[in-house]
Amino acid sequence: MNEDELLSRHEPVEEDIRMQERVWRFERVGWYVLVVIILLALAGAFGNGPLSDAQVTSTDGRIQVEYQRLSRSGTTDDLRITVHGIAGKPVKVMLGGSLLREASIETMQPEPQSSISHGEALLLQLGTSRDGIATLYLTLRSESVGTLEGIVRTSPTSAVSFSTFLYP
Protein backbone atom coordinates (compact mmCIF):
# COMPACT_ATOMS: atom_id res chain seq x y z
CA MET A 1 0.00 0.00 0.00
CA ASN A 2 1.43 3.40 -0.76
CA GLU A 3 2.40 5.59 2.13
CA ASP A 4 -0.45 8.01 1.93
CA GLU A 5 -3.15 5.37 1.91
CA LEU A 6 -1.56 3.70 4.90
CA LEU A 7 -2.15 6.72 7.10
CA SER A 8 -5.20 6.69 9.31
CA ARG A 9 -7.56 9.55 8.59
CA HIS A 10 -9.19 11.49 11.38
CA GLU A 11 -11.67 13.41 9.28
CA PRO A 12 -14.53 12.72 8.64
CA VAL A 13 -14.25 9.43 10.54
CA GLU A 14 -11.70 8.16 13.01
CA GLU A 15 -9.80 5.36 11.31
CA ASP A 16 -7.43 2.70 12.50
CA ILE A 17 -5.95 1.52 9.25
CA ARG A 18 -3.60 -0.99 10.89
CA MET A 19 -6.54 -2.70 12.48
CA GLN A 20 -8.38 -2.55 9.19
CA GLU A 21 -5.39 -4.14 7.46
CA ARG A 22 -5.61 -6.99 9.93
CA VAL A 23 -9.32 -7.37 9.21
CA TRP A 24 -8.60 -7.51 5.47
CA ARG A 25 -5.84 -10.05 6.03
CA PHE A 26 -8.20 -12.12 8.16
CA GLU A 27 -10.77 -12.10 5.35
CA ARG A 28 -8.17 -13.17 2.82
CA VAL A 29 -6.67 -15.92 4.98
CA GLY A 30 -10.16 -17.03 6.01
CA TRP A 31 -11.11 -17.42 2.38
CA TYR A 32 -8.17 -19.75 1.76
CA VAL A 33 -9.06 -21.69 4.90
CA LEU A 34 -12.60 -22.17 3.61
CA VAL A 35 -11.26 -23.34 0.25
CA VAL A 36 -9.07 -25.89 2.04
CA ILE A 37 -12.04 -27.07 4.11
CA ILE A 38 -14.11 -27.52 0.98
CA LEU A 39 -11.33 -29.45 -0.75
CA LEU A 40 -10.95 -31.65 2.33
CA ALA A 41 -14.68 -32.25 2.37
CA LEU A 42 -14.56 -33.21 -1.32
CA ALA A 43 -11.79 -35.65 -0.52
CA GLY A 44 -13.93 -37.14 2.22
CA ALA A 45 -12.39 -35.77 5.38
CA PHE A 46 -15.89 -35.30 6.75
CA GLY A 47 -17.27 -38.57 5.45
CA ASN A 48 -18.36 -40.10 2.12
CA GLY A 49 -15.17 -39.78 0.12
CA PRO A 50 -11.91 -41.52 -0.71
CA LEU A 51 -10.39 -40.48 2.63
CA SER A 52 -13.29 -41.95 4.51
CA ASP A 53 -14.17 -45.15 2.66
CA ALA A 54 -12.39 -48.03 4.28
CA GLN A 55 -12.27 -51.75 4.13
CA VAL A 56 -10.96 -54.26 6.60
CA THR A 57 -10.45 -57.99 6.23
CA SER A 58 -9.91 -60.49 9.01
CA THR A 59 -6.52 -62.20 9.17
CA ASP A 60 -7.90 -65.45 7.80
CA GLY A 61 -9.79 -63.57 5.10
CA ARG A 62 -13.22 -64.88 6.06
CA ILE A 63 -14.75 -61.58 7.05
CA GLN A 64 -14.65 -58.41 5.06
CA VAL A 65 -16.21 -55.17 6.27
CA GLU A 66 -16.67 -52.01 4.24
CA TYR A 67 -17.30 -49.02 6.46
CA GLN A 68 -16.85 -45.27 6.80
CA ARG A 69 -13.77 -44.20 8.74
CA LEU A 70 -15.18 -40.72 9.25
CA SER A 71 -18.75 -39.72 9.52
CA ARG A 72 -21.06 -37.21 11.12
CA SER A 73 -23.42 -37.58 14.00
CA GLY A 74 -27.01 -37.99 12.89
CA THR A 75 -26.30 -39.18 9.36
CA THR A 76 -26.86 -42.66 8.03
CA ASP A 77 -23.90 -44.77 7.01
CA ASP A 78 -23.67 -47.92 4.99
CA LEU A 79 -21.89 -50.90 6.40
CA ARG A 80 -21.30 -53.97 4.28
CA ILE A 81 -20.24 -57.21 5.87
CA THR A 82 -19.16 -60.16 3.73
CA VAL A 83 -18.60 -63.53 5.39
CA HIS A 84 -17.15 -66.61 3.74
CA GLY A 85 -18.74 -69.75 5.10
CA ILE A 86 -19.46 -73.22 3.92
CA ALA A 87 -21.70 -73.43 0.87
CA GLY A 88 -25.29 -74.15 1.69
CA LYS A 89 -24.79 -73.96 5.44
CA PRO A 90 -25.87 -70.95 7.46
CA VAL A 91 -23.15 -68.88 9.06
CA LYS A 92 -23.25 -67.23 12.47
CA VAL A 93 -22.05 -63.64 12.76
CA MET A 94 -21.68 -61.66 15.92
CA LEU A 95 -21.91 -57.86 15.76
CA GLY A 96 -20.55 -56.01 18.75
CA GLY A 97 -18.61 -53.02 19.91
CA SER A 98 -19.68 -49.52 20.82
CA LEU A 99 -20.67 -48.67 17.23
CA LEU A 100 -23.30 -51.35 17.07
CA ARG A 101 -24.43 -50.56 20.61
CA GLU A 102 -24.64 -46.76 20.25
CA ALA A 103 -25.90 -46.56 16.71
CA SER A 104 -29.35 -47.62 15.77
CA ILE A 105 -29.61 -50.07 12.91
CA GLU A 106 -31.95 -48.42 10.44
CA THR A 107 -32.05 -51.20 7.89
CA MET A 108 -30.60 -54.67 7.66
CA GLN A 109 -30.65 -56.52 4.35
CA PRO A 110 -31.11 -59.39 3.82
CA GLU A 111 -33.16 -60.36 6.85
CA PRO A 112 -31.10 -62.77 8.97
CA GLN A 113 -32.55 -66.23 9.62
CA SER A 114 -32.36 -65.55 13.30
CA SER A 115 -31.24 -62.65 15.42
CA ILE A 116 -30.62 -62.97 19.13
CA SER A 117 -28.83 -60.86 21.68
CA HIS A 118 -25.61 -62.22 23.04
CA GLY A 119 -24.49 -60.18 26.00
CA GLU A 120 -24.11 -56.70 24.58
CA ALA A 121 -23.64 -58.02 21.09
CA LEU A 122 -26.01 -59.22 18.44
CA LEU A 123 -25.79 -62.77 17.14
CA LEU A 124 -27.11 -63.23 13.62
CA GLN A 125 -27.53 -66.34 11.55
CA LEU A 126 -27.19 -65.68 7.84
CA GLY A 127 -27.96 -67.91 4.89
CA THR A 128 -25.10 -68.35 2.44
CA SER A 129 -25.19 -68.39 -1.31
CA ARG A 130 -24.06 -71.34 -3.42
CA ASP A 131 -20.43 -70.25 -3.19
CA GLY A 132 -20.65 -70.00 0.58
CA ILE A 133 -20.70 -66.22 0.82
CA ALA A 134 -23.11 -64.30 2.99
CA THR A 135 -23.39 -60.55 2.60
CA LEU A 136 -25.14 -58.28 5.05
CA TYR A 137 -26.01 -54.68 4.22
CA LEU A 138 -26.61 -52.39 7.17
CA THR A 139 -27.49 -48.74 7.48
CA LEU A 140 -26.52 -47.22 10.78
CA ARG A 141 -27.36 -43.92 12.36
CA SER A 142 -25.70 -42.60 15.46
CA GLU A 143 -26.40 -39.46 17.43
CA SER A 144 -23.23 -39.66 19.47
CA VAL A 145 -19.95 -37.84 18.82
CA GLY A 146 -16.47 -39.32 18.97
CA THR A 147 -14.87 -42.61 18.13
CA LEU A 148 -17.03 -45.71 18.00
CA GLU A 149 -15.70 -49.19 17.52
CA GLY A 150 -17.37 -52.07 15.79
CA ILE A 151 -16.49 -55.76 16.03
CA VAL A 152 -17.62 -58.47 13.64
CA ARG A 153 -16.86 -62.06 14.56
CA THR A 154 -17.79 -65.43 13.15
CA SER A 155 -15.57 -67.71 15.14
CA PRO A 156 -13.01 -67.06 17.87
CA THR A 157 -10.28 -67.01 15.24
CA SER A 158 -11.86 -64.81 12.61
CA ALA A 159 -12.86 -61.39 13.79
CA VAL A 160 -12.38 -57.85 12.57
CA SER A 161 -12.65 -54.64 14.45
CA PHE A 162 -12.92 -51.21 12.92
CA SER A 163 -13.54 -47.73 14.22
CA THR A 164 -15.50 -44.77 12.98
CA PHE A 165 -15.02 -41.20 14.07
CA LEU A 166 -18.19 -39.17 14.23
CA TYR A 167 -18.04 -35.38 13.86
CA PRO A 168 -20.70 -33.35 15.65
Partner 1 sequence: MDSILRAAGMYVALMLLFRVAGRRSLADLTTFDFVLLLIIGEATQQALLGDDFSFINAMLVIATLIVLDVGLSLAKLNSKPLARLLDGHATLVVEQGRFLHQRMRRARLTEDDILESARDSQGIEHVEQIKFAIVERNGKISVIPKE
Per DSSP, what are the bridge partners of residue 105? 140
Q: Which of residues 23-42 bind partner 1 (CB under 8 A)?
A: 23-24, 26-27, 30-31, 33-34
Judged by beta carbon, residue 65 or residue 166, the one nearer partner 1 is 166
Which CB atom, from 23 or from 105, has the smaller least distance to partner 1?
23
Q: How many CA atoms lie within 13 A of 106 on its CB side?
A: 11
Kindly determine how many residues on this chain lie close enough to bind partner 1 according to the rule CB under 8 A.
23
Q: Which is nearer to partner 1, 13 or 86 (CB)?
A: 13
Q: Can you spell out the DSSP letters for 17-29? A: HHHHHHHHHHHHH
Q: Pairing mode, if any, of strands 159-167 and 70-72?
A: parallel
Whether 137 contacts 106, CB under 8 Å: no
Least separation in angstroms between residue 158's CB and partner 1 is: 38
Question: Which parts of 80-139 interact with partner 1 (CB under 8 A)?
Answer: none
Cβ proximity to partner 1: between 46 and 137 the closer is: 46
Among residues 74 and 110, whose Cβ is nearest to partner 1? 74
Q: Where are the alpha helices (DSSP H) in 69-143?
A: 98-102
Least distance to partner 1 from the beta carbon of 37, Å? 11
How far apart, in Å, are the Cα atoms of 64 and each of 13, 14, 102, 146? Answer: 68, 67, 22, 24
Q: Which of 130, 136, 129 is CA-nearest to residue 154?
A: 136
Site for partner 1 in 4-23 (CB under 8 A): 5, 9, 12-17, 19-21, 23
User: Which positions lie near partner 1, rule CB under 8 A?
Assistant: 1-2, 5, 9, 12-17, 19-21, 23-24, 26-27, 30-31, 33-34, 74, 168
